């Protein structure tokens, strides 16, 4: 009688290596999206040629913030939704993810229109709405997105490498006179503009949400290394694309194309005259940002369910399943909210909301970590303090209307929770 087939055993070291690279690929797939295809143009519009410095400073901020994403900032015996601070942090994360998804939908619409040579702005919002409806329907089926995520990352990487290769070839063939004229057109940014661009580009690296507390110090360190490597790879790619764009069409053209069509890299690819290049970069952008939205929809659905649980009275916490929104209803509400945000119509304004909300979320997470007295600490206390100062200092460099509306929405959520808890107590 033949023995049943048993899968080969994997050594612990090999299993840890496989898990590490899986984490790197996952983080990179979440980061690689609107940031490179739209965000670089926004940074160039604000900081001109100094957008490359804004990309670098934002990557450093993202590395510091990654510590609180894997640290246990709430004692395990106290659920995070029981504290007002954690409710505010999760509300800002929900707002940041929502606006990121809306910006991605506008980016998909912009690249479809520009890539197909129909850059009529009037169709931008309707096509973005169709994108949200179609991807919501696809997400409704609940199929695994792991294989799709790998495909979208590969398509995006091939398109960006094609743009970088063709761009470097053109730069090497540019005459000295043309290079001087382009350098004169790329003005340097003021310190204020550089800070504003750094603030906006922090959203480009925030492709991961708050993670569950790690079971031990070693696994947290491994996850930190994976996130750090993913951010480093994303920074290298962003930097290369930004240099090619600024050195071929100029920072002014790169920035103005965001307002006109939400597709700055199409303008760069057209200047390179690469056969089929416009269709290649369009395919990469649509694949990357559609994959990003598909990854965001389940996260937003789960986040909305958790926020709904957080307004339950304390005595109902042991039986929270009864208070949870159904996944279908939560997904429908998320899709409806995304559709409403799209009517803003300006991808740069929506991007500003996302950047402010992410920085406010990280600031609250650093504050929560500073209040934690339990040991061991994954994140050093001094890094939490520095991260809090940096995040608060950067957050308010966006337009005052953006942070005023964002703070109003967070305050409204806190008031809503307070009213629900008070009503339950009175009942």
- pLDDT (tens digit per residue) in 2-24: 455 444 555 555 666 766 777 77
Sign of the C-alpha dihedral, residues 29, 32, 34, 37? negative
Q: Band the pLDDT of 143: cuts 50, 70, 90.
A: low
Per-residue pLDDT for 88 more than 90? no
- Let me know: does 247 contact 171? Beta carbons within 8 Å: yes
Q: Give pLDDT, residue 322.
A: 43
DSSP string of 305-322, one letter each residue = HHHHHHTS-GGGGGGGGG
Per-residue pLDDT for 425 more than 70? no
Three-state DSSP state, 75:
coil
Q: Give pLDDT, residue 284.
A: 93
Per-residue pLDDT for 178 more than 70? no
For the chain, percent of residues with pLDDT exceeding 90: 30
Cis before residue 376, ω within 30 degrees of 0? yes
**List of E strands, 268-360:** none
Of 288, 242, 236, residue with least CA distance to 264: 242
HSE of 169, CA atoms in CB hemisphere, 13 A: 11
Q: Is residue 4 part of a domain?
A: no
CA distance 200 to 351: 7
**Which of the residue ranges 21-35, 88-102, 129-143 has the most confident prediction, judged by mean pLDDT?**
88-102
Per-residue pLDDT for 373 more than 70? no
What separation, in Å, do the N-terminal and C-terminal C-alpha atoms of the chain show?
Answer: 69
For residue range 266-299, what is the model confidence (pLDDT) as tens digits?
989 988 888 888 999 999 999 999 988 988 888 8
Residues 6+ apart with CB under 8 A from 294: 135, 138, 139, 145, 148, 149
By mean pLDDT, which of 65-79, 195-209, 399-413 is the weakest? 65-79
Q: What is the CATH number of the domain that holds 315?
A: 1.20.1740.10
Q: Is residue 12 part of a domain?
A: no
Q: Give pLDDT, residue 211.
A: 46
Retrieve residue 269's tokens.
């690819």
Sign of the C-alpha dihedral, residues 45, 47, 52, 55? negative
CA angle at 313 for the pair 307 and 319, rounded to the nearest 5°:
80
Q: Is residue 80 part of a domain?
A: yes
Q: Is residue 39 part of a domain?
A: yes
CA distance 39 to 351: 8
For residue range 55-69, what is the model confidence (pLDDT) as tens digits?
999 999 998 888 777
Retrieve residue 244's tokens.
């090619």
Of 399, 393, 115, residue with least CA distance to 266: 115
φ/ψ (deg, to 5) at 144: -65, 135
For the chain, percent of residues with pLDDT exceeding 70: 77
Computed over every residue of the chain, the mean pLDDT equals 80
* Residue 307: Cβ within 10 Å count: 20
Q: Is residue 16 part of a domain?
A: no
* Residue 127: Cβ within 10 Å count: 17
φ/ψ (deg, to 5) at 213: -55, 140
CA distance 56 to 255: 18
Per-residue pLDDT for 175 more than 80? no
CA distance 145 to 241: 27
CA distance 52 to 334: 34
Retrieve residue 283's tokens.
């395919």
Retrieve residue 282's tokens.
């369009």
Q: Give pLDDT, residue 198.
A: 94
Per-residue pLDDT for 316 more than 80? no
For residue range 179-233, what is the model confidence (pLDDT) as tens digits?
655 655 566 778 898 999 999 999 999 865 544 444 455 667 777 888 888 889 9
| pLDDT: which is higher, 396 or 186 | 396
Q: Give pLDDT, residue 212.
A: 45
Q: Is residue 196 part of a domain?
A: yes
Q: Give pLDDT, residue 317.
A: 45
Number of domains making up the chain:
1
Q: Is residue 234 part of a domain?
A: yes
For helices 217-248 and 51-70, what crossing angle results, to 10°?
A: 170
Q: How far from chain centre, in Å, is Cα 318?
A: 33
By mean pLDDT, which of 64-73, 88-97, 115-124, 220-229 is the weakest? 64-73
Residue 379, CA distances (Å) to 88, 332, 383 in order: 21, 37, 7
State the residue for tokens 């970069």: 281
Per-residue pLDDT for 305 more than 50? yes
Per-residue pLDDT for 80 more than 90? no
Buried b (16+ CB within 10 A) or exposed e, 395-424: bebbeeebbeebbebbeebeeebeeeeeee
φ/ψ (deg, to 5) at 40: -65, -40
Q: Whole-model pTM above 0.85?
A: yes
CA distance 112 to 317: 46
Structural domain span for residue 152: 22-426
Please give the average per-residue pLDDT across 129-151, as a whole number.
Answer: 79
Q: Is residue 285 part of a domain?
A: yes
């Amino acid at each position: 009688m033949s023995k049943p087939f048993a899968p080969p055993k994997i050594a612990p070291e090999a299993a840890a290596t496989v898990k590490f690279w899986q984490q790197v690929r996952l983080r990179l797939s979440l980061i690689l999206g609107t940031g490179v295809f739209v965000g670089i143009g926004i940074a160039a519009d604000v900081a001109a040629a100094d957008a490359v410095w804004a990309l670098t400073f934002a990557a450093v901020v993202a590395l510091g913030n990654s510590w609180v994403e894997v640290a246990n900032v709430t004692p395990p015996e106290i659920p995070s939704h029981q504290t007002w601070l954690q409710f505010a942090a999760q509300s800002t994360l929900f707002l940041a993810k929502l606006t990121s998804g809306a910006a991605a939908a506008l980016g998909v619409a912009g690249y479809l229109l520009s890539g197909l040579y129909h850059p009529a702005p009037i169709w931008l919002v309707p096509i973005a709405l169709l994108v949200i409806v179609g991807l919501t329907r696809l997400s409704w089926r609940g199929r695994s997105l792991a294989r799709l995520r790998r495909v979208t990352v590969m398509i995006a990487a091939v398109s960006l490498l094609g743009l970088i290769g063709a761009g470097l070839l053109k730069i090497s063939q540019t005459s000295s006179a043309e290079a001087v004229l382009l350098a004169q057109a790329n003005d340097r940014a003021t310190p204020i503009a550089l800070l504003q661009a750094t603030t906006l580009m922090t959203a480009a690296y925030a492709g991961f949400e708050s993670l569950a507390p790690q079971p031990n110090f070693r696994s947290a360190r491994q996850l930190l290394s994976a996130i750090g490597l993913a951010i480093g790879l994303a920074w290298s790619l962003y930097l290369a694309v930004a240099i090619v764009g600024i050195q071929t069409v100029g920072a002014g053209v790169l920035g103005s194309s965001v307002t006109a069509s939400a597709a700055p890299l199409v303008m760069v690819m057209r200047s390179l005259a690469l056969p089929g290049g416009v269709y290649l970069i369009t395919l990469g952008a649509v694949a990357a940002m559609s994959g990003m939205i598909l990854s965001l929809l389940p996260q937003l659905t789960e986040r909305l369910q958790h926020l709904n649980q957080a307004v339950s009275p304390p005595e109902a916490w042991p039986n929270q399943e009864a208070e949870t929104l159904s996944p279908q209803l939560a997904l429908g509400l998320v899709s409806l909210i995304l559709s409403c945000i799209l009517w803003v119509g300006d991808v740069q304004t929506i991007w500003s909301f996302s950047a402010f909300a992410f920085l406010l979320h990280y600031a609250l997470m650093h504050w929560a970590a500073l209040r934690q007295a339990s040991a061991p600490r994954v994140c050093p206390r001094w890094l939490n303090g520095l991260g809090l100062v940096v995040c608060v200092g950067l957050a308010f460099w966006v337009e005052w209307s953006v942070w005023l509306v964002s703070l109003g929405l967070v305050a409204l959520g806190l008031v809503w929770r307070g009213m629900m808890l008070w009503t339950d107590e009175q009942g």
